[in-house]
């Protein structure tokens, strides 16, 4: 199975100049590491802000880096009176081929509901955008050993999408990545053990497989404080198909060191 290492830039960098500097260093470091990074083994992707998406995707044409949106509007897949929103169609037109959905920061600060996420998934599907669907438990839920229960509830949206679109099950699955991101591990430096993550990913793969007949095995990434020190150990697990990287994706060197770890381990 192909590995994926995806950089979630969140609300960074601050200026267009800094965005260009980051792209410059990513592209030159990719060149230098051409022996180490094989896009057939490990696909790289970055998710800039909506304001930087078109410029970033234009610069990434003909490079091994794909471009993702960080979110799309729930209200309309195309156009409409939804001030401040950007639709799946607009993100695709700006050069995104994928979108993150359901990131814990969206769930927390924008109270994203299951219904909204289902709308977003439906719009992404209609506009041929692949989806990186983020799920994960809070510290309190982890402490109360509710992780699998919480994940099952979050994954029910995927089941609903597949049930509503039975003819598109294979197409949806081919363009779907699940990112398991414990909320307590995001930006904190705390990480679950590799064996905990592996067991959770196995559960996610089995759960999604139970949603429809003949589903291909789903790609499951780990996210939450992945860095240059722990990437090798996550990459060594056959259950961990890659990483969704926040903080460490803002420096070309750390992002590509993580990508190299997955390229090596999955070769």
Q: Which residues bind ligand PEP (CB under 6 A)?
A: 8, 181, 186-187, 223-226, 244-248
Q: What is the DSSP annotation of 110-162?
A: S---HHHHHHHHHHHHHTT-EEEEEE---HHHHHTT-HHHHHHHHHHHHHHHH
Tokens of 263: 């390229």
* Residue 109 burial (CB count, 10 A): 9
Angle between helix 252-266 and helix 16-32 axes, rounded to 10 deg:
40
- Closest to ligand PEP by CB, 160 or 232: 232
CB of 190 to ligand PEP, least distance (A): 9
Q: Write the CB contacts of 244 (distance below 8 Å, at least 6 apart in sequence).
A: 6, 8, 100, 132, 134, 179, 181, 221, 222, 223, 226
**Alpha-carbon gap, residue 95 to 140, rounded angstroms:** 38
Give just the sign of the alpha carbon dihedral 194, 195, 196, 197: positive
- Shortest distance, position 167 Cβ to ligand PEP, whole Å: 32
Q: Which is nearer to ligand PEP, 74 or 100 (CB)?
A: 100
Considering beta carbons, is residue 133 or 211 the nearer one to ligand PEP?
133
**Minimum separation from the CB atom of position 189 to ligand PEP (A):** 8
Alpha carbon dihedral 186, 45, 28, 2, in 10-degree steps, equals 100
| Per annotation, catalytic residue among 137, 181, 201, 203 | 181
Please pick, among 103, 123, 201, 203, the residue that the annotation labels catalytic. Answer: 103
Q: Which is nearer to ligand PEP, 132 or 215 (CB)?
A: 132
In this chain, which residue has its C-beta nearest to ligand PEP? 246
Examine the residue annotation and report whether 75 is marked as an active-site residue of this protein: no
Least distance from ligand PEP to the Cβ atom of residue 70, Å:
10
**Active site annotation includes 201:** no
Residue 29 CB, nearest approach to ligand PEP (Å): 19
Q: Which is nearer to ligand PEP, 180 or 211 (CB)?
A: 180
Give the catalytic positions in this structure: 103, 181
């Amino acid at each position: 199975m192909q590995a994926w290492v995806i950089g979630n830039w969140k609300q960074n960098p601050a200026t267009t100049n800094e965005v260009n500097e980051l792209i410059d260093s990513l592209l030159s470091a990719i060149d230098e590491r051409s022996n180490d990074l094989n896009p057939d083994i490990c696909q790289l992707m970055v998710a800039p802000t909506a304001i930087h998406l078109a410029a970033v995707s234009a610069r990434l044409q003909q490079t091994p880096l794909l471009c993702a949106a960080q979110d799309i509007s729930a209200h309309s897949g195309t156009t409409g009176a939804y001030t401040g929103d950007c639709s799946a169609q607009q993100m695709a037109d700006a050069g995104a081929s994928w979108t993150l959905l359901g990131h814990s920061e969206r769930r927390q600060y924008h109270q994203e509901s299951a219904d909204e996420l289902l709308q977003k998934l439906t719009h992404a599907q209609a506009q041929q955008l692949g989806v990186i669907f983020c799920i994960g438990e809070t510290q309190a839920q982890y402490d109360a050993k509710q992780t699998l229960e919480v994940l099952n509830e979050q994954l029910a949206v995927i089941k609903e999408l597949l049930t509503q679109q039975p003819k598109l099950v294979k197409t949806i699955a081919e363009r779907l990545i699940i990112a398991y991101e414990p909320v307590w591990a995001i930006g904190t430096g705390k990480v679950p053990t590799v064996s905990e993550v592996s067991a959770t990913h196995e559960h996610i793969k089995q759960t999604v497989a139970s949603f429809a007949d003949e589903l291909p095995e789903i790609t499951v990434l780990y996210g939450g404080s992945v860095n240059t020190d722990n990437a090798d150990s996550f990459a060594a697990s056959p259950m961990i198909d890659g990483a969704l990287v926040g903080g460490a994706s803002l420096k070309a060197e750390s992002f590509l060191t993580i990508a190299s770890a997955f390229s090596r381990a999955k070769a």
